[in-house]
Amino acid sequence: MTATPTLTIAKKEFEDAARSKLLWGLTLVLLVVTVPSFYGLTDSPILDNATDAIAFFPLVFQNFIAPLTIIAAYRAVVGERESGSLRVLFGHPIVRRDVIVGKLLGRVALVAAVLSIGLLALGAVVAIAYGTLPLVVFVVMVSYVLFYGTVWTAVTVGVSAAVTSRLQAIASLLGLFMILGPFGIWRSVALPLAALISTGSASTAGIDPLDPNTWSTWYLYAQRVNPMDNFVQNSEFVASLADSSIGYPGNLTVQLFGIFVLLFWAMVPLAMGYWRFERTDLV
């Protein structure tokens, strides 16, 4: 190993993914599922102008980033553990922290490369459809989407480090996606519980998810706990940092809470995975 084992591991992770055509396969799938549908929206009343279209990027990617990162990173640590190559790796002067950080950096680079190509493709659609591309808003929203991709990559690598088989990793991550994702499980369980704690009643009948005027303060915070909902709900606030004409629901405290929640999701599962990996006998 070199004097910088973490970067060496990260570089190898990315190169192995590129050689296995994982990078290109994920990129093709992402382009197919996002670009045509987004292009169709540019001719609808939903997106009035180029700025609105760019601010819409997180909604386009909301249900695709988690599966993409799961596919890209679920084998990051546990795959090498099952194959026995971790024991060979530890024959070099490295520690387990180097492995976790190196794997994380390599998979973040892979996910970022895939998302960047998809985002550039959407940027091209905006430029063609509206004749302009607001550069500052575009850069801010691209950064936000890449940040969210990093969050899910950290979650995935953390789970991969904590479990003992690829089956456990994929089952845990897909289960998490099903709970948090577009299947309604989170909303049917967590939101009534939050309502019960906040109001004494589990009823959410007065709340319309599509009408911010019906959102109580407890609801604004509760929906931010789910990173997938949070990603979209915080997107208008992030876009407003580049264009002050863009409004956002809720107050500044709610938006900052949303950013904190995303950081929490990035750090805590990764830290727990590292803690478990550090204390596991790999022999």
Query: Which tens digit of pLDDT belongs to each residue from 74-123?
Result: 999 998 888 777 777 776 778 888 889 999 999 999 999 999 999 999 99
What are the CA-CA distances from residue 48 to residues 45, 60, 77, 283 (Å)? 6, 16, 45, 59
Question: Domain range spanning residue 88?
Answer: 5-181
Residue with tokens 């976790």: 100
Summarize pLDDT for 133-143 with one digit per residue, the tens.
999 999 999 99
Flag whether 201 is in a domain: no
State in Å, rounded, how far the first CA of the chain is from the last one: 21
Are the C-beta atoms of residues 221 and 254 closer than 8 Å to each other?
Answer: yes
Distance from C-alpha of 274 to C-alpha of 271, rounded to nearest angstrom: 5
The pLDDT value given to residue 1? 45
Flag whether 246 is in a domain: no
Q: What is the CA radius of gyration of the chain?
A: 20
Flag whether 97 is in a domain: yes
Q: Which two tokens stand for residue 244?
A: 């002050």
Flag whether 282 is in a domain: no
Distance from C-alpha of 44 to C-alpha of 28, rounded to nearest angstrom: 25
pLDDT band at 283 (very low <50, low <70, confident <90, very high): low
pLDDT at residue 262 is higher than 60: yes
Flag whether 159 is in a domain: yes
Flag whether 15 is in a domain: yes
- State the alpha helices, DSSP H only, in 96-212: 96-130, 135-162, 166-180, 185-199
Number of domains observed in the structure of the chain? 1
What count of Cα atoms within 13 Å lies in the side-chain half-sphere of residue 69?
35
Closest CA to 108 of 62, 73, 61, 65: 73
Flag whether 198 is in a domain: no
3-state secondary structure of 247: coil
The pLDDT value given to residue 66? 95
Residue 52 DSSP symbol: H
Summarize pLDDT for 197-250 with one digit per residue, the tens.
888 888 887 888 777 788 888 888 988 999 999 999 899 999 999 988 887 777
Q: Mean pLDDT of all residues in the chain?
A: 89
The pLDDT value given to residue 2? 46
What are the CA-CA distances from residue 127 to residues 31, 51, 53, 68 (Å)? 17, 11, 10, 26
Are the C-beta atoms of residues 70 and 175 closer than 8 Å to each other?
Answer: no
pTM across the whole model? 0.92
Are the C-beta atoms of residues 27 and 118 closer than 8 Å to each other?
Answer: yes
Summarize pLDDT for 6-62 with one digit per residue, the tens.
888 899 888 887 777 888 888 999 999 999 999 999 888 888 899 999 999 999 999
Sign of the C-alpha dihedral computed for residues 146, 147, 152 and 155 taken in this order: positive
Flag whether 139 is in a domain: yes
Q: Which residue has the higher pLDDT, 90 or 149?
A: 149
